[in-house]
Structure 1
Amino acid sequence: MSFYEKFPLMSKSNRLLMLLSKAGEENEIDMADIPGGPKAFEICAKFCYGMIVTLNAYNVVIARCAAEYLEMTEDVDRGNLIFKIEVFLNSSIFRSWKDSIIVLQTTKSVLPWSEDLKIVGSCIDSIASKTSVDPGSITWSYTYNRKLSVPDKIAEEGMNFRDKIDSVPMDWWVEDICELDIDLYKRVMITVKSKGRMDGKVIGEALKTYAVRWLPDSFDESISDALTWRYKYLVETLICLLPQDKAVGCSCSFLLKLLKFAILVGIDDSAREYLVKRISLKLHEASVKDLLIPARPPQNTLYDVELIQCIVGRSLMHGKYNQDVKHKENGDFILGHEHGTLMNIGKLVDGYLAEIAYDPNLTICSFVDLSRSIPVSARPIHDGLYKAIDIYLKEHLSLTKAEKKKICGLMDVKKLTTDASTHAAQNELLPLRVVVQVLFFEQVRAASGVHALNNNARDTSNSTTNTDEEWEKTAADGNKSLMKQMSRTKIKDEDFQTNGELLKKNSKSTKNGAQLLPSRSKRIFDRLWVVGRGHVENRSSETSGSSQSPTGDASPLVHLQDKVGIPSPRERV
């Protein structure tokens, strides 16, 4: 290389001047450690020779670091490469949303040069500042593929479809930064949160979007240790970035998915404990599918039932459910927010019980303990619990009589709806005593309704001054009396089986109505139906003005006690 060929390089670069001077007649110099490699040196060399150099978001970082390495400063030559690149960065790159993200991604290949030159910090500040801009003032392009995924929010906000599409959402920026490496993403999110202008829900949405982008849908334990470590570090980073405001931010569904993956990769106990605490505050928002967390050894069940029971217990401890019913001055009452939350937890637990009931390794103690972990007020209707019990009985046919009695004791037949009661009356897997209780209560409920209806008709014909409140009081008193008698009634399987009269086939009048019932339940139902029918006919004759109503059919409860062998209250005393 002649002097005339070396001079342009020496006139722009102080390092090249020193290296070429030391090289003398030799034409080789060692610059293997130049940041950006040959591509970066080519850009600097073209600039020195006065050739056109095209800078963009993909090569500006390596060019800036190489220029710093070659010492192409203003002291060497006015208007040198470092000065021109700095002008380009400040006037173009840092003002562009997507260019700032691209430049930040390229800084990783030239560390620590890009860090020392403040390029990383400038990109992060530029990105964080733009996320805090009023969405109405945004004019640049961004990636957002979730516009059509929330049609329900369109109606809630009172906006028409076109206005919703044209508007800029609050979380417009979360998808673009998902392409960043986890270390850079963490620094960006910390800066965004430090500005204090971002809503916790948007932060939660950003973390959820990043997790969906980088965490796999399923986890194979045979993957390499390096990949496992990467997933573990990613999960731990997302946990530390969770919004501090526990009332808002990430949804319970996302937190449970994060916990599920955290258990698979084996994060430390403190991070796992923090997740459990956050989930317990929002358990009422979860779905049954979210709770299906696979169990880990040494557990032999399909799902981690102990973990869910722990979360349920903590959730109930956080809530003040003893004050969930607020009374008004006029005697009416309204259900508070806490009561609705408690009922959601009750439905969630019943649904979870129905899912885990299919597990052949699920012990009856685990089933019973989880069912009893919620208070009575959380389960006003027992249809969901009955469904779970029915599934468990079908999947565990080897249960003893005592075990069946224990699990069925969780259910209150008085809290079953008509459909559930009908199904239970035909269920051959239920203990005989439970079937009798179901049929007996249905008969009591039907008799109570007829009694209240006939009283209302008789009172209406005799007087026009009775009010609706008096009719409701009469019906309630009749129902209360029957319920009181039923609560004192105790039926034993042995007494029922030894009573041959009750097990005989009933009259032809009930044959068609009970064809769908199993033989055992059919015979019980036939006997109760005859008793109830006689009671209805008796009440009908009273309302028609007949004075010859038979006195022997005064109460179906008396007949049931006589036929089944239930001791009367006087005999029990």
Structure 2
Amino acid sequence: MIDFPGGPKAFEICAKFCYGMMVTLNAYNVVAARCAAEYLEMTEDVDRGNLIFKIEVFLTSGIFCSWKDSIIALQTTRSLLPWSEELKLVGRCIDSIASKTSVDPANITWSYTYNRKLSVPHKVDDINFQQKIEAVPRDWWVEDICELEIIFYKLIMVSIKSKGRMDGAVIGEALKTYAVRWLPESYDDLVSDDRTRMYKYLVETLIYLLPSDKHGGCPCGFLLKMLKIAVLVGVNDSSREDLVLRISIRLHEVAIKDLFIPAQPPQTTLYDVDLVLCMVNRYVIQEKNNWDSNVERNGIETFGSGKGHGSLLMVGKLIDGYLIEIAHDPNLSVANFIEVASSIPDSVRSSHDGLYKAIDIFLKEHPSVTKAERKKICGVMDVKRLTMDASMHAAQNEQLPLRVVVQVLFFEQLRAAAGVQAVDNNACDTPNLTANTDEECEKPAANDHKSLNKHMSRLKIDELPKNGKLAKQSSKNSKSGAQLLPSRSRRIFYMLWSVGKGHGENRSSDTSGSSHSPTSMVPGDKKSPGSSLRNRRNSVS
């Protein structure tokens, strides 16, 4: 009886049938009884209406017509291999289950398990609410087959996909539900548990079963969670490559926290930066190819500009946010930091504030970086694209190289001067030249110095060197005790301030250490605003 399929209970069923006793068959014992009858050769050749014939009728008219009985019967076939496989009972159970998943939900009359929450609107009347509850969802079958072992689950999902009638989003939901059911919640359990090999096979199978449409189906967050697990359990290269490709296509849907993939030896960083770089580079290449193919139709020449680049801007914010987080890692190298910062084109960044914040954190967390490395790190940032708040912070940042501080102060002065010039133009460019035009044009010129003083107060400077001494401002900011710039930045700002007032035309910077300092860019023969206004007044008169 050791090799007898189904054991003593199956033999008892066959014996009772031979003696004409009543036999009770159900989904739990019918497969074992069928295998035992085959072993005993209880066919029609021996006697008409033998046990095999009666079991086949019961399977066709009873078991395979029922949704849950088909699942139960399939579960019992595992202990009866290879008999159940040779008798094609496994395949028949799978076909029965897969065919029922493709039935129109409106025609579902059998019971099923559905414990997930339905998305119900906040305000609906009682009739609509009841209809919503009673409606059969498209993924009604997902939870019942989650109780199957991965070997049977794979066969069912392959059969469902081969029919081509199931939406990719439903397949993705089924895979997600199965992963939640069988994978541990803690990543530590994946590597500490002795069932790591089983988890590896499970993850590889789920990746294999992903929808064929790489642009949809599974949520991107689920794909990244699968990638984290795949890295930890060490799946094969093809499975990992498939996940990376799918995520790269939809990188704009990713959240920052989803990119924190633990690094594996021999990597020394906290997170797998190289893997993220691979996905970002693929995304940029794909978007660049799509952009080039639509240049003639859209009339856009610059990659990342114009309409339809919202996803690129989202990726830009994503990378800056990721860079801010990994900048705290003491093992992150300068090369990796620069590579991540440069992985996306500047055109997809709305501003460089996030990039500046990442640089500031990195320099604070890595005080041992050399002067040359600091210049390289700051080279990825464009100070002209910093907002006012970021410029104020950068002007007081002792971590930045001196040249960067000079550039920040210089472009802030240019921004203020441009604002003053805009006021002058608005005041002078009037359609009617009346008698008081001269007086109106003289007011902006007289208030030029006051406007620059306001800009200086925005930068929170309390004191400026004047004739070798510190002269106190009369603004409200100085009275409220605003924060002082560092002495280095204060000296540089005064030099640029003098240029803005017309007193520093021929003055060169002795602090920038470069012939390209902002002060050298100011022409020495530039006319003062007052002289230009006087010429304009004479021409009018």
With the shorter chain as reference, the TM-score category is: 0.7 to 0.9
SS in 2 for 1:133: coil
Distance (whole Å) between structure 2 residues aligned to residue 132 and residue 502 of structure 1: 87
Distance (whole Å) between structure 2 residues aligned to residue 343 and residue 370 of structure 1: 16
Q: Which residue of 2 aligns with 1:247?
A: 215
- Contact 2:225 2:258 (8 Å CA) reproduced: yes
Q: Which residue of 2 aligns with 1:179?
A: 147
- Contact 1:426 1:517 (8 Å CA) reproduced: no
Distance (whole Å) between structure 2 residues aligned to residue 502 and residue 63 of structure 1: 107
Q: Which residue of 2 aligns with 1:335?
A: 306
Q: CA deviation at 1:518?
A: 4.5
Residues matched between the structures, number: 478
Q: CA deviation at 1:77?
A: 4.4
Q: CA deviation at 1:107?
A: 0.8
Q: Give a deviation string over 1:364-403, Cα, whole Å, max 9, x none.
A: 1110011112112121311221221122122112223332
- Contact 1:502 1:564 (8 Å CA) reproduced: no
Is 1:198 the counterpart of 2:160 in the alignment?
Answer: no
- Contact 1:436 1:524 (8 Å CA) reproduced: no
- Contact 1:44 1:81 (8 Å CA) reproduced: yes
Q: Which amino acid aligns with 1:524?
A: R
Q: CA deviation at 1:317?
A: 1.7
Q: Which residue of 2 aligns with 1:41?
A: 11
Q: Which residue of 1 aligns with 2:458?
A: none
Q: Which amino acid aligns with 2:152?
A: L
Match of residue 402, structure 1, among 355, 360, 372 = 372
Gap change, CA 1:241 and 1:328, over 3 Å in 2:
closer
- Contact 2:14 2:36 (8 Å CA) reproduced: yes
Distance (whole Å) between structure 1 residues aligned to residue 468 and residue 338 of structure 2: 33
Q: Which residue of 2 aligns with 1:509?
A: 474
Q: Which residue of 2 aligns with 1:355?
A: 325
Distance (whole Å) between structure 2 residues aligned to residue 408 and residue 350 of structure 1: 14
SS in 2 for 1:204: helix
Q: Give a deviation string over 1:465-515, Cα, whole Å, max 9, x none.
A: xxxxxxxxxxxxxxxxxxxxxxxxxxxxxxxxxx96599644232472583
Gap change, CA 1:357 and 1:453, over 3 Å in 2:
same
Match of residue 271, structure 1, among 232, 239, 249 = 239
Match of residue 70, structure 2, among 89, 100, 121 = 100
Q: Which amino acid aligns with 1:556?
A: G
Q: Which amino acid aligns with 1:116?
A: E
Higher deviation after alignment, 320-329 or 267-276: 320-329
Q: Which amino acid aligns with 1:287?
A: A
Is 1:212 the counterpart of 2:212 in the alignment?
Answer: no
TM-score, with structure 2 as normaliser: 0.77
- Contact 1:232 1:266 (8 Å CA) reproduced: yes
Q: Which residue of 1 aligns with 2:439?
A: none
Gap change, CA 1:61 and 1:416, over 3 Å in 2:
same
Q: Give a deviation string over 1:98-134, Cα, whole Å, max 9, x none.
A: 2211211111011112122222111111111111112
Q: Which residue of 1 aligns with 2:347?
A: 377
Q: Which residue of 1 aligns with 2:520?
A: 567
Identity of aligned residues (%): 63
Gap change, CA 1:571 and 1:443, over 3 Å in 2:
closer
- Contact 1:147 1:165 (8 Å CA) reproduced: no
Gap change, CA 1:523 and 1:517, over 3 Å in 2:
farther
SS in 2 for 1:179: coil
Distance (whole Å) between structure 2 residues aligned to residue 160 and residue 409 of structure 1: 60
Higher deviation after alignment, 513-522 or 203-212: 513-522
Gap change, CA 1:571 and 1:457, over 3 Å in 2:
closer
Q: Which residue of 2 aligns with 1:298?
A: 266
Q: Which amino acid aligns with 2:472?
A: S
Q: CA deviation at 1:41?
A: 2.3
Match of residue 486, structure 2, among 520, 527, 538 = 520
Q: CA deviation at 1:335?
A: 3.4
Distance (whole Å) between structure 1 residues aligned to residue 64 and residue 467 of structure 2: 89
Is 1:127 the counterpart of 2:97 in the alignment?
Answer: yes
- Contact 2:508 2:520 (8 Å CA) reproduced: no
SS in 1 for 2:217: coil
Q: Which amino acid aligns with 1:184?
A: F
SS in 2 for 1:98: helix
Distance (whole Å) between structure 2 residues aligned to residue 203 and residue 168 of structure 1: 16
Is 1:56 the counterpart of 2:26 in the alignment?
Answer: yes
Q: CA deviation at 1:209?
A: 2.2
Q: Which amino acid aligns with 1:380?
A: S
Q: Which aligned pairs between 1:401-440 and structure 2 lie closer than 5 A?
A: 401-440=371-410
Distance (whole Å) between structure 1 residues aligned to residue 496 and residue 183 of structure 2: 64
CA RMSD of aligned residues (A): 3.7
Distance (whole Å) between structure 2 residues aligned to residue 229 and residue 134 of structure 1: 38
Q: Which residue of 2 aligns with 1:496?
A: none
Q: Which residue of 2 aligns with 1:289?
A: 257
Distance (whole Å) between structure 2 residues aligned to residue 373 and residue 67 of structure 1: 67
Q: Give a deviation string over 1:418-449, Cα, whole Å, max 9, x none.
A: 33334434444333443443344334334423
Q: Which residue of 2 aligns with 1:365?
A: 335
Q: CA deviation at 1:76?
A: 4.2
Unaligned runs of 5+ residues in structure 1 are: 1-30, 465-498, 532-552
- Contact 1:502 1:563 (8 Å CA) reproduced: no
SS in 1 for 2:486: helix
- Contact 1:178 1:209 (8 Å CA) reproduced: yes
- Contact 2:317 2:349 (8 Å CA) reproduced: yes
Match of residue 422, structure 2, among 448, 452, 456 = 452
Gap change, CA 1:518 and 1:213, over 3 Å in 2:
farther
Distance (whole Å) between structure 1 residues aligned to residue 24 and residue 83 of structure 2: 21
Gap change, CA 1:289 and 1:416, over 3 Å in 2:
same
Gap change, CA 1:193 and 1:500, over 3 Å in 2:
same
Q: Give a deviation string over 1:261-287, Cα, whole Å, max 9, x none.
A: 222222232333333233322222222
Q: CA deviation at 1:194?
A: 1.0
Distance (whole Å) between structure 2 residues aligned to residue 266 and residue 258 of structure 1: 12
TM-score, with structure 1 as normaliser: 0.73
- Contact 1:561 1:568 (8 Å CA) reproduced: no
- Contact 1:301 1:359 (8 Å CA) reproduced: yes
Distance (whole Å) between structure 2 residues aligned to residue 308 and residue 457 of structure 1: 53
Higher deviation after alignment, 183-192 or 245-254: 245-254
Unaligned runs of 5+ residues in structure 2 are: 435-463, 510-518, 527-541
Q: Which amino acid aligns with 1:228?
A: T
- Contact 1:502 1:523 (8 Å CA) reproduced: no
